[in-house]
Structure 1
Amino acid sequence: MVSTLRPLALPLLVPLLLAAAPPSAAPATPRLEDAVPDTFSGVERVVAVGDVHGDVDALKDVLRLAKLIDEKGRWSGGKAHLVQTGDIPDRGERTREAFELLMRLQGEALKAGGRVHTLLGNHEVMNMLGDLRYVAPGEMASFADQSPEKDAAGTPPGSNGHRAAYGPQGRYGRWLRTHPAVVRINDTLFVHGGVAPEVPSKTLPELNRWVRQDLFPGNPPGGAKNPQGPLWFRGYALGEEEVAAKALETVLQRFGAKRMVMGHTTDRDGKIRARFGGKAVFIDTGLSTGYGRKLSALELRGGRVTALYVSERVELVAPEAAPAGKVSP
């Protein structure tokens, strides 16, 4: 017997299926107690990119330079790990687009077996805590749709939306509060400013909790606002050679690393800089248009540490020589 039932028209079927589906749960509000992954090993290729400051086009260009995204902006880096060392917002008007790009790439990289690590910088924290000195007018206005409330008279357009967006339950504040300040990948620490010897932490989880506790109400002062905390410290970039070298060695030994990669302190010549025999590497070269749009990325692969520029690749640290009688793989 042939059925006389006709298939339900697709335009009618889709709304019925959506109506029958359970409502999606709202993303959980992050907590200080939540685990924040901070240690990764066995990663074949790591690429680190410095301060973005609202310039999403420059960010895309440098990710293409490093062969992490394709011409359509989709992840093409396979199992590589990208580390963005903080300071995505401020001074430029397209911060939201940069956030959205990195949020999307996090998921795409994970599906491919890679990772995107977006670290906390001092400017992320400033925005979350209401210090808006460096927010560009267009940047502020771009958040207007994040709150249904009209801005108070005399306040910049987008003020309410900006505050809501960076709050604990806001789209970007919720995301940022799940991020670490410091990660270790293989034998390298990555951080925005630098980890000083005086930080009151012996492990990375302790260090990241100390920074993040400033972002959750009801906690004692932590490391996010501390001028010697890892989002602000410039001792390795600007400090006297002998004193800074000794301090760095102490920290590297404490956290089981061979080197530290940092942003935050801009090198105006547009070149990635290494100090202390390659144990400290500074990658903020002025990526954003406001700083001259000097594109660069750092690649760590096979024991090599290489600066990537539009016109050249410069090896900063070569692989260690193999012991006598052994051949490097």
Structure 2
Amino acid sequence: MPSPAPRPGLLVLMVPLMLAATPPSLPSRAKQDAPDTFSGVERVVAVGDVHGDVDALKAVLKLAGLIDARGRWSGGKTHLVQTGDIPDRGDQTREAYELLMRLEKEALAAGGRVHALLGNHEVMNMLGDLRYATPGELASFADLASGPTEGGLAGHRTAYGPQGRYGRWLRTHAAAVRINDTLFVHGGIAPEVPAKTLAELNQWVRQDLTEGQPPGGAKSAEGPLWFRGYALGDEGTQAALDTVLARFGARRMVMGHTTEREGKIRTRWGGKAVFIDTGLSTGYGHHLAALELRSGRLTALYPEGRVELPVSPP
């Protein structure tokens, strides 16, 4: 979860300039990816950063009633949103990918959905930045190397490449989705992003993952995978958030990326901003938590019980 330092105080000042910008178009491949807007969803569950701990991921999905004792989808028509940062800092990244890839299919067959969003660590791995990859994590990719003696590093490079098992899968995924009246994103959507729609925003992020494209939003400090302004900014940042919510037709934004050191889900501004990276993985304290959105209510799900979160009237 490394990040360039946020500059929340500049947000409101930059809005007029950046709203006029439009992102360059991408190849038709990006336009054929999964939809980014969903409505009429009765129940949504959101889970934050996993960081290579598949056991913690399974535990929180069981807590939310989304998988059964065998690890199979039991959530029916629920939409699960995992807000990115599946890899790094733990050895079970590959197992976590495989679990979510399987659950995508099982949920869809049951009328539900699994949305595994891009986080900054997914992008770092796709672009070869392995500062936070553990030796055990790299070793787990060894069988994907093209030669028998190339080992985990070569296997990792193959796995995350454009045609690799995980790289191909990740490159079709969104950086942000809207479900009902809620935006879900890894870091946060700043007013500066050169996009007026989610489709444009997701295309802007994919530019950095597509050969031959100009620089995009996956590596930008103000991009949706890195931005921490709403988590760390002062109270004046609410004006910037209101601008973004209005632009994308949403009531609130749910974010991971910035770890809540107390291990609890946090809200700001009457539930307009919700922060769900509670330190799920063992390396961050194993604080199991999921956010449930249902019938206009926000509920934090913990092993010790359910806690209703404050929501201002619309």
Tell me, in whole angstroms, the C-alpha distance in 2 between the residues paired with 1:89 and 1:35.
Answer: 22
Q: Which of 159, 167, 170 is matched with 1:165 structurally? A: 159
Task: Report the TM-score when normalising by structure 2.
Answer: 0.89
Determine what percentage of the aligned residue pairs are the same residue.
76
The SS at the match of 1:83 is: strand
1:174-323 equivalences under 5 Å are 174-242=168-236, 244-318=237-311, 320=313
Tell me, in whole angstroms, the C-alpha distance in 1 between the residues paired with 2:232 and 2:132.
Answer: 23
Tell me, in whole angstroms, the C-alpha distance in 2 between the residues paired with 1:150 and 1:215.
Answer: 28
Instruction: Give 1:318 deviation, angstroms.
Output: 4.8
Which amino acid letter does the alignment assign opposite residue 227 of structure 1? A
Aligned counterpart, 1:42: 40
Tell me, in whole angstroms, the C-alpha distance in 2 between the residues paired with 1:312 and 1:232.
Answer: 31
Which amino acid letter does the alignment assign opposite residue 254 of structure 2? V
Does structure 1 retain, via aligned residues, the 8 Å contact 2:186–2:257? yes
- Unpaired runs of 5+ residues, structure 1, are 1-29, 322-329
Tell me, in whole angstroms, the C-alpha distance in 2 between the residues paired with 1:236 and 1:151.
Answer: 47
1:53-132 equivalences under 5 Å are 53-132=51-130
Instruction: Give 1:31 deviation, angstroms.
Output: 3.1
- Unpaired runs of 5+ residues, structure 2, are 1-27
Which amino acid letter does the alignment assign opposite residue 85 of structure 1? T
Render the CA deviation track for 1:91-126: whole Å, top value 9, x for unaligned.
000000000000000000000000000000000000
Residues 236 and 319 from structure 1, CA distance in 2 versus in 1: closer, same or farther, beyond 3 angstroms?
A: closer
Instruction: Give 1:148 deviation, angstroms.
Output: 2.5
Q: RMSD of the TM alignment (CA)?
A: 1.3
Render the CA deviation track for 1:45-71: whole Å, top value 9, x for unaligned.
000000000000000000000000000
The SS at the match of 2:30 is: coil
Which amino acid letter does the alignment assign opposite residue 82 of structure 2? Q
Does structure 1 retain, via aligned residues, the 8 Å contact 2:270–2:312? no
Instruction: Give 1:129 deviation, angstroms.
Output: 0.3
Does structure 2 retain, via aligned residues, the 8 Å contact 1:168–1:174? yes
- Of structures 1 and 2, the one with the larger relative CO (CA 8 A, separation 6+) is 2
Does structure 2 retain, via aligned residues, the 8 Å contact 1:150–1:160? no
The SS at the match of 2:207 is: helix
Tell me, in whole angstroms, the C-alpha distance in 2 between the residues paired with 1:79 and 1:160.
Answer: 39
Which amino acid letter does the alignment assign opposite residue 237 of structure 1? A
Does structure 1 retain, via aligned residues, the 8 Å contact 2:120–2:226? yes
Tell me, in whole angstroms, the C-alpha distance in 2 between the residues paired with 1:215 and 1:245.
Answer: 31
Larger Rg: 1
Which amino acid letter does the alignment assign opposite residue 231 of structure 1? L
Which amino acid letter does the alignment assign opposite residue 222 of structure 1? G
Render the CA deviation track for 1:142-188: whole Å, top value 9, x for unaligned.
00011232556xxxx40110000000100000000000000000000
The SS at the match of 2:215 is: coil
